[in-house]
Amino acid sequence: MSVTGRQLCAEAEERLRAAGIDAPAGDAQVLFLHALSQSLDRPVPRHALREHLAAAVPTGLEAIYEPMIAARAARQPVSQITGRRAFWKHDFRVTPDTLDPRPETELLVELALTEHFDSVLDLGLGTGAILISLLAERPQARGMGVDLSAAALDVARGNAQIIGVKAEFAVSDWFSSVSRKFDLIVSNPPYIALNEMPKLAPEVRDWEPRMALTDDGDGLTAYRALCAGAPAHLTPSGRLMVEIGPSQGEAVAELMRAAGLVEVTVRQDLDGRDRVVWGRKPASRSA
């Protein structure tokens, strides 16, 4: 008798559990839906799962599903295997060249949207999740996204096109290719200190781009560059807004104050951990 979706998922679940995966049943099902979509050559929605679990699997499905489960058992993130991750109001394409958009980063988007801006710069934009979400909410605003990784920029460009926002993209080492001023500068830079790297989950440490995670130093290198360059690239009263690791609030706030930014504020994510720091360039005296 041919194998059902349920049997296939149960086997996959066991394999993922043995590999130390936290939520093996959920991952096995998400990947099953992804394999089904490929095998049937059409998107299979989540609500169709029950029906597909009860049915015999289509010919060829096992050959598509098996390498996905093998990749997950090797701790590749589900989003890299499916190539997608939901963030704010859109689905973003992700690859091994980009940091996976994370829910806590939505706080940065939420806080950025509390004020008007006509222009926004995202430094180290990765998938473009922050910049593209902001531009989708503020279609009149002009946007620029830069990254040191040309491969990441390609992913961001593709996401902007699919989601339907326009922006300028450039390879840049922080501000090196940026000559204009912006009302809002955002960044989720690499902030994990070198000595914290061994503690990361294998999904992050072994699969996400190292340059998006760590400065190979104390975790503050990027903030030094961002704070030093921000005043020259912000319009009067413009804001610099960055994501941080939970222990970095005071250090990053101090870097912003030292750079001459005012109203420096640290905000907590839904888990109550310090997650976003922002500061404002003083309004010019003549204004």
231 is known to lie in a ligand binding site: no
d(CA 49, CA 63): 19
According to CB under 6 A, which residues from 189 to 218 bind ligand GLN? 189-192, 204, 213
129 binds ligand GLN (CB under 6 A): no
Residue length, the chain?
A: 287
Closer CB to ligand GLN, 31 or 192, in the complex: 192
φ/ψ (deg, to 5) at 86:
-80, 135
By CB under 6 A, the residues from 91 to 120 that bind ligand GLN are: 99, 102
Nearer to ligand GLN, 84 or 210 (CB): 210
Q: Indicate the residue among 53 and 251 with the shorter CB distance to ligand GLN.
A: 251
Q: Is 174 annotated as a binding residue?
A: yes
Is 207 annotated as ligand-binding? Answer: no
| Residue 84 to residue 77: CA distance in whole angstroms | 10
**If we measure between CA atoms, which residue out of 63, 103, 79 comes closest to residue 30?**
79
Query: Does 33 sit near ligand GLN (CB under 6 A)?
Result: no
Q: How far apart are the first and last CA of the chain?
A: 79
* Amino acid residing at 16: L
Residue pair 121/146 in contact by the 8 Å Cβ criterion: yes
User: Binding residue for ligand GLN (CB under 6 A) from 149, 159, 188, 235?
Assistant: 188
- Written as six digits, the tokens of 205 are 């440490």
Residue 285 C-beta: closest distance to ligand GLN, Å: 36
Q: Which residues bind ligand GLN (CB under 6 A)?
A: 99, 102, 188-192, 204, 213
